[in-house]
A and B are shown apart, each in its own frame.
Chain A
Amino acid sequence: MAVPVDNYLRNQFMPHMWCPGCGHGIVLGAVLRAIGRLDLPKDEVCIVSGIGCASRAPGYLDFNTVHTTHGRALAFATGIKLARPDLHVIVLTGDGDASAIGGNHLIHAARRNMGITTVMFNNSIYGMTNGQYSPMTPKGRYASTAPYGNVERNFDMCELVKAAGGNYVARATTAHARQLSNYVEHAIQTQGFAFVEAVTQCPTYFGRRNKMGTPVDMIEWFRKNSVNAAAAAKLGPEELDGKIVVGEFYRGDAPEYTQVYEEVIKRAKEAAAR
């Protein structure tokens, strides 16, 4: 066995609550293998989530874990990182949690360049609440709240986080579970805000509504419709329509927030001593 993921599971709460074939377990496995390869001591890892199917992940994990309120994982994580800059703070969040109700927190965590790794489980749907469309649902896709097809354009979350100031941005799908794990590893090693979009399947709501077949069919669909970043750079917008661009898009070296804040603490202490 390559990396002992069993070490990181709260076996007493398994099997987990996710539906058969739900991609969230594949994404979580990729995260755990990244932590395993980095050999991070359990006590030095803090996993934070919001609300949703994806956000149920920390309940199954044997680290410091916090299951917070919908959309607020990054707000809690920011507080945790400020109180304990030595911790590896990892946010596991859904596309609804991160891009809808929690969108503002995401933008500002990236802008501040908080030393947090965020993995967004993007199944293009609100899974937990039975399949409403999210800001990540592609145009034309069906959802319980878009029975005639979604007319809205979805966010490109990777572009958004990069523009807002994050230091690491990458995307992969469950058909690229190994790269995905690699990207999470690079994200954890990043000083500053790191964002990995994990495109994953919700066979129960997104798959069924959009007639995408079995979980295996959905993974195959991701594989066939993905283009790596280098190849995508040579394609026009029409050729990229409906495609998922995967790869590592950005690495920056802006200073991490808690390190900058150390200076504030120093100045405040000096002022108090005067």
Chain B
Amino acid sequence: MAATLASDRSSPRPPRRLRFAVPAARLARSLSRRLAHRDGAVIGGRVCLAVDPDAVAHLLVQHPTTVFVSATNGKTTTTALLTAAIERLMPVATNTTGANLPSGIVTALMDAEPGTTAVLEVDERYLPGVVAVATNPVALLLNLSRDQLDRMAEVRSIALRWRDAFAHDTTRVIANADDPLVAYAAPPERTVWVAAASRWRMDALSCPACTARVQYDGDDWYCTQCDLRRPKPDVTFTDTDVVLASGRRLALPTTLPGTHSRANAAFALAALELLGLPVDGASDAMATVTDVDGRYQHLWATDDASRLYLGKNPAGWAEILDVLAPVDRPLVIAVNGNDADGHDLSWLWDVPFERLAGRPVVATGERMRDLAVRLRYADVEHTAEPNLTRALAWARTARADVVGTYTAFQQIKRELRRDA
């Protein structure tokens, strides 16, 4: 990620504050890299925002095509897939490391050439503020579900804020027709609906519009009281193919595992089509994405099936358990309870860990005791190993799959890098 000064010479001239903010941010980032050996990913953005509080708006205005990806799960993966698909045609400005707060967005944009297409993952809570200041934005709304229980008191309130934002703007939306919270949030007249086959339904059993029960009937769903119901999907997919809004049928990339990965790829292809970009060859480009900032990476050998997963909430775990199901491979689960994980780990009881019975499991992480109690009640034989390094050493020997909550996942990546 070499810093380029090209954008300083370009027109239109950026606002005055931004002209000071960006060089200051680059200096801070370079100091952070040299002195603290950090990657400086967010430091630059933070400094930039301190000098120019409107840096997000000032930077976004320089990009005529912006795509925002927001969701509880799948933001980083979908952003990576769409970026790969567009990069085969033209340069893309993106936040590849999952830095999805305003500071991360600023960092992604401050080095980009004005005019570059921007593909940005955005934290659910910041999405309304970001689309409001973008020119001609496209928003991909993948799903909403419980996550970080202690911080996000009501996932329904996020859906409401999204709905309010889209009701008053001109954002073009690609949204999940199978998630009632997302379907409620998206503006029907400007939305391409993807049948994204959401497995987790516990956060949308009560209607986001009127709180009455939502009835599920096979793939269909509808509110039993008001007229909120599943929109007719424009984009559908199978295990191998996607049919886009135009009727075009394309092969889906199969590099990343699971139905949710097909859904993410379907969203990316739908976005390409909406942007008017060629879709031929896009799947091949997306197939080169073998892991997403560590998610799904092969752990012990490329010919080995075991992978690293990010499992931070019940909806994500529902997909992971499906992927793990066919083979009783050993499994290491690392659970932390830091700010980014959420301090309340009650959600572990919403994960059907009962499905793991019969395979060797090691529980680790700073909150391994919460997991150990949960696994015991699920009748899953397991060993508790407080030391992550030792747990990973066992995983290597056993060729185990590894799943971590957000900060545990970052620790695991660091450990693996150190060993490499």
| Mutual binders A and B | no
